[in-house]
Amino acid sequence: MLYREALNKAIDEAMEIDKSVVILGEDVGRYGGSYRVSEGLFAKYGKERVIDTPIAELSIVGNAIGMAIAGLRPVAEIMTVNFSLLALDQIINHASKFRYMSGGKLAIPLTVRMPGGVSRQLAAQHSESYETIYASIPGLIVFAASNPNYAYHALKKAIFLNDPVIFLEHELLYNEEGEVDFNEDLDPFKAKVVKEGEDITVISYLKMVKDSLKAIEKIEKSLNITCELIDLNSLRPLDMQTIANSIKKTKRAVIVEEDHKSGGYGAEVCARICEELFYELDAPVLRIAGEDVPIPYNRKLELASIPTPDKITAKIISWAKENGV
């Protein structure tokens, strides 16, 4: 099943089970969503529950919060994370704080879906990854779907959680094929060991999981070692237990992320590893991240600004050699 189909199925089933689930966003209805995630839902559930909104991100999220207070379970789609900045006030000053400020009296069962990352030559205003912002906000849950199976299970569970969830997708994953195990009882808060290994722990999320996996194949052949790959799945809360279990075994950690390196999400993961697992480490943590520049349009520069399977391979190999792996 395609990633976008898995997301579609999760929403469809949630809407089927519970009448209070509604979706709203730009082009989500008659158009079917700019990445076709909501295809077919307008015809099936009608315009009251599948709401085509104007281009007004602040209102999309603000309205969704109001709906949530009134007892609905809104799933808001922000066309890309870049535009979610216009809704930041509603997400941060309102959604994330209402339960706490009310002494626990208010619940905000809200899901805000947004795709991000570098797609292909969409230039600086359409290529950002802002997970580091959302993951730094107390009161928010942040899921990051790297594959159809997690996308399906985590989105469906997110919709039925009673707190605000930022649900991150990646623009280059929508047409990714992958198996969905409908019988699985997946815990969306837990990281997943995608591949087991003995010598290096590679930690990643979203599209970089796929790119890291490609790199790992080459690294293992080239260095005659094995790498363990962890897909974080949930960025807030961060599942340190899964990371610790792996690092205690491998003694070495690499973090691969697509966002900018300075203050990027990997900085938090790195800090937690250094704080909690320092004495387990046999080598300094390696961070592979995007460059600290807005994403340029030109393809060559664009590729130079983010990690690619080849760059991940080269960086890990040279780091491994320096550190006697």
Partner 1 sequence: MNSARVKEFYYLMKLGREFEIRAKEEYMKGNIAGFLHLDIGQEAVSVGSMKAFMKGDVFTHYREHVLAIARGMDPKLVMAELFGKREGVSKGKGGSMHLFEPKLSFYGGDAIVGGHLPIAVGCAYARKIQGENAGVFAIFGDGASNSGAFFESINIAAAWKLPIIFFLENNYYAIGTHISWVSPFVELYNKVKNYMPAVRINGMDVCEVYEEVMRAKNYIENGLGPYFIEAECYRYEGHSMSDSGQYRSKEELEIFKSKDPIENLRKKALKDGLVEESFFKEADRKAQMEVEEAVQFALRASEPEISELYEDLFCKECSNVVS
Ligand X SMILES: Cc1ncc(C[n+]2csc(CCOP(=O)(O)OP(=O)(O)O)c2C)c(N)n1
Binding ligand X by CB under 6 A: which of 22, 79, 166, 289? 79
| Residue with smaller CB distance to ligand X, 5 or 26 | 26
Catalytic residue among 5, 26, 94, 126: 126
Residue 305's binding partner, choosing from partner 1, ligand X, none, with beta-carbon cut-off 5 to 8 A by kind? partner 1
CB of 27 to partner 1, least distance (A): 5
Phi, psi of 6 (to 5 degrees): -65, -40
Residue 43's binding partner, choosing from partner 1, ligand X, none, with beta-carbon cut-off 5 to 8 A by kind? none
Question: Based on C-alpha coordinates, what's the Rg of the chain?
Answer: 20
If phi over 0 gives left and psi between -120 and 50 gives alpha, with beta otherwise, what is residue 7? alpha
Who contacts 59 (Cβ-Cβ below 8 Å, separation ≥6)?
Answer: 53
Q: Give catalytic status of residue 260 as yes or no.
A: no
Paired residues of 255 in beta bridges: 203, 287
Does residue 55 belong to the site contacting ligand X (CB under 6 A)?
yes
Does residue 83 belong to the site contacting ligand X (CB under 6 A)?
yes
CA 303 – CA 48 distance, rounded (Å): 42
Catalytic residue among 26, 57, 128, 268: 57
Does residue 124 belong to the site contacting ligand X (CB under 6 A)?
no
Does residue 304 belong to the site contacting partner 1 (CB under 8 A)?
yes
- At which residue do the structure tokens 């994953």 appear? 173
Q: Give catalytic status of residue 57 as yes or no.
A: yes
CB of 289 to partner 1, least distance (A): 14
Lookup: tokens for 175:
């047409």
Does residue 123 belong to the site contacting ligand X (CB under 6 A)?
no
| Residue with smaller CB distance to ligand X, 83 or 189 | 83
| Residue with smaller CB distance to partner 1, 83 or 189 | 83
Number of H helices, E strands in the chain: 13, 12
Per DSSP, helices labelled H in 18-86 are 41-45, 57-69, 81-84
CB of 27 to ligand X, least distance (A): 7
CA 110 – CA 68 distance, rounded (Å): 6
Cα–Cα nearest to 143, from 107, 113, 108, 173? 113
Who contacts 159 (Cβ-Cβ below 8 Å, separation ≥6)?
Answer: 10, 11, 14, 21, 73, 75, 109, 111
Q: Which stretch binds ligand X (CB under 6 A): 78-86, 216-224, 274-282, 299-307?
A: 78-86
| Residue with smaller CB distance to ligand X, 127 or 146 | 127
Does residue 86 belong to the site contacting ligand X (CB under 6 A)?
yes
CA 271 – CA 275 distance, rounded (Å): 6
Does residue 26 belong to the site contacting ligand X (CB under 6 A)?
yes
Task: Return residues touching partner 1 (CB under 8 A).
Answer: 26-27, 30-31, 34, 52-56, 58-59, 82-83, 86, 120-126, 291, 293-294, 296-301, 304-305
Task: Return residues touching ligand X (CB under 6 A).
Answer: 26, 55, 57, 79, 83, 86
Catalytic site positions? 57, 126
